[in-house]
Structure 1
């Protein structure tokens, strides 16, 4: 009887965490998209606001619970975590530029190469060739991506549904930097006492420091002043959007950590696949995105390839290991977490960095 109650409690816990994670990720994407639609000329400033809010919330969390420890800022540690922070902010910038240029329903397709690029970067870093089954999974996902970005030739397809080549290129670069970031995290954690919270703090604060001067160079501060004097601009959308995505980005950090803790990788991947489908349908409903057969098939193939990869990794990890095992490649779950778990699947991507 007690065992049944424990199992039921565990099931509810897993369902709650997965729902929390999916909900936070979906809010991030759609609020980001709504703000970018209303303020397309301020993407980097929007991203900076999210990073600053994440830092503030980490400080507030540290006052509430001792489990959140704010690191002591010193130049020596800053230099050691600079590479992972720089890669992180570059990936976030490409991510938000991609989201600005594509429809919400297409965003997951544009970033569909996360898995193949993560496998490639991990293989280069570990100098180990992936197994045939892992390569098959990467091939399936790549096929899904190519199907999604292929030009539509049907006469009834509106041109507005076809994203620009530059936006897709941003999505590929974003995926590449997610993959590199996932590898760098493993080598950066020892510099912050293996604390993901401390690394999150360094990355959010460092990313904001890296980003601020480029916003000035791009002239976004000047454009903001111009917009504030324009009667056509709805500044409240930008302000509230920054606050909401900053808070939900922080919650996505918590949700990602809880998801990894209480669920299995397969459950996590199934929830990610379900989120992609829900995101596509919501994009069609909220933003009147056009759902083509190419896009539907692309999302399905990418999801199947990702789940197959997760199954392969779970089988491999359950198999007896040799006495001197090779270095494990980075899991897709870690790769996604590199950007979205501490906030994404996206700051203006799926969420702020961990």
Structure 2
């Protein structure tokens, strides 16, 4: 999805808000279509009280999406992954502030390893090629940092927002996509993107099919990722979800090498290895933290149990006699 988003932004950099709006609207349409074929997809009843309660998570969601697409527009697709590295420590920080709990040292260590892997993968100079890549603009880097921050806050807010949507990921996804589209619509006109669209349509050099099919493809997969992400946070935790996202980005890099012929440099390969190790370490750390403590049996306890059993046996024999 990131590669398709980048392709659309390269062909139509003047239409980021409209492109994002199309994705959100398509997600709402897909939910209505799914509800026609299965009862498991339930469209929520729109009411003001629920909308008011879900306004914070919806606003944070749409702001994060805006900064995300603006960052992707201004940087290379590979450099864009640095935002994913920043999400991990920010999610831990936000989750700790909200829940007033501090994760274990193992979680901090795992987050540091994964973040180090991402930073290593987007260094401006590779270990096998000394050619420097074009440095991204400062505003694009700021967009990436803000995107990471809002993604972290959004992940934490989902846990507290699910009860307002009857603890249903489908209903929360519907509220988020519909609400985000409504919040985003005025900015399309404020930015003048509706006029820009008509200007581009009149130009012969503009490839409208890239924008159209890009909106459809990313809208479908964005909808699936939205539901999967909400479900992941519901059954695990925001921090665990971000670690799974880190592992997903590793797979994305490998797919880029396989499908698009991207160059897998030495530091990129090392980055993949470090991220995978950090994710596996986190999985092991959480499993050991959640495992019930082993009860140690003292030898004197065994002797007491044997003596008690012997007395019960003697008592039984006396009654028989």
For normalisation by structure 1, the TM-score amounts to 0.72
Counterpart of 1:303 in structure 2 is 276
Does structure 2 retain, via aligned residues, the 8 Å contact 1:90–1:177?
Answer: yes
Counterpart of 2:103 in structure 1 is 130
Does structure 2 retain, via aligned residues, the 8 Å contact 1:118–1:179?
Answer: yes
Counterpart of 1:67 in structure 2 is 40
Counterpart of 2:196 in structure 1 is 223
CA distance in 2, matches of 1:261, 1:125: 17
Counterpart of 1:198 in structure 2 is 171
- How far 1:257 moved relative to its partner? 7.4
Alignment of 1:175-324 (within 5 A): 175-253=148-226, 275-283=248-256, 291-320=264-293
Per-residue Cα deviation, 1:208-232 (whole angstroms, up to 9, x for no partner): 0111111222221121111111111
Counterpart of 1:17 in structure 2 is none
Does structure 2 retain, via aligned residues, the 8 Å contact 1:54–1:249?
Answer: yes
Work out the number of aligned pairs and report it. 292
Counterpart of 2:64 in structure 1 is 91
Does structure 2 retain, via aligned residues, the 8 Å contact 1:105–1:284?
Answer: no
| Structure 1 vs Structure 2 CA RMSD | 3.2
Give ranges in structure 1 of 5+ residues lacking alignment.
1-27, 322-354
Moved more, 41-50 or 129-138: 129-138
Does structure 2 retain, via aligned residues, the 8 Å contact 1:54–1:250?
Answer: yes
Per-residue Cα deviation, 1:96-149 (whole angstroms, up to 9, x for no partner): 122223333333333212222111111111111211111111222233344345
C-alpha distance 253-84 of structure 1, shift in aligned 2 (>3 A)? closer
CA distance in 2, matches of 1:176, 1:269: 13
Counterpart of 1:81 in structure 2 is 54
For normalisation by structure 2, the TM-score amounts to 0.79
CA distance in 1, matches of 2:197, 2:290: 51
Moved more, 160-169 or 285-294: 285-294
C-alpha distance 72-54 of structure 1, shift in aligned 2 (>3 A)? same
Counterpart of 2:12 in structure 1 is 39
Structure with bigger gyration radius: 2
Give ranges in structure 2 of 5+ residues lacking alignment.
295-321
Does structure 1 retain, via aligned residues, the 8 Å contact 2:127–2:266?
Answer: no
C-alpha distance 47-70 of structure 1, shift in aligned 2 (>3 A)? same
C-alpha distance 155-302 of structure 1, shift in aligned 2 (>3 A)? closer
Does structure 2 retain, via aligned residues, the 8 Å contact 1:122–1:183?
Answer: yes
Does structure 2 retain, via aligned residues, the 8 Å contact 1:111–1:171?
Answer: no
Residue 105 in structure 1 maps to residue 78 in structure 2: yes
Moved more, 150-159 or 106-115: 150-159
- How far 1:185 moved relative to its partner? 0.8
